[in-house]
Amino acid sequence: MPELVAALGKAERCAQIDALLPLLRSQFADNTAALHQLAFALNGAQRFADAASVAAQGIVVDPYNAWLHHNASFALNMRGDFVGMYRHTAETARLLPGNPLMQNSTSPPRNCARATSSTAGSNTNGTMHCRRTTISFGPITRNGKASR
């Protein structure tokens, strides 16, 4: 069923996802593997609020499921909830101590003094000041469009 959600997302058939989602959530209410796959598919379909909610549903069932925390982290990041994103990212890293990608995701790049963001006008830009290098990223986008 998560494959169906992914296909509907690619086809931009939001009404069908809206109709199917409550059924899937109740059918797989205590199946954390299915909820993980569903949250992943919803993230892929850029349904970040739904993905965060489904991941949270799974975390209630199994708070030690790193991949549900990872999906929640991604969805919350895309929604701009950086405090929630960091909380789930840190929990993912704690639950997957042998995964170097997850361990590196909780700390800034080496030799970076600070990370800042500025919100001047309608642009949201981020700048990371590292030794000898400034890395700029922005404007930050949502659903392929610049955030305003």
Q: Where are the domains of the chain?
A: 2-104, 112-143
Euclidean distance between CA atoms 148 and 108, whole angstroms: 26
pLDDT value for 131: 39
pLDDT value for 38: 93
- Fold for the domain defined by 2-104: 1.25.40
Tell me the whole-structure pTM to 2 decimals: 0.67
- pLDDT tens per residue, range 77-94: 999 999 999 999 999 989
pLDDT value for 47: 92
46 or 117, which is more confident: 46
- Residue 17 sits at φ, ψ, to 5 deg, of -65, -45
Cis omega (within 30 of 0) for bond into 139: yes
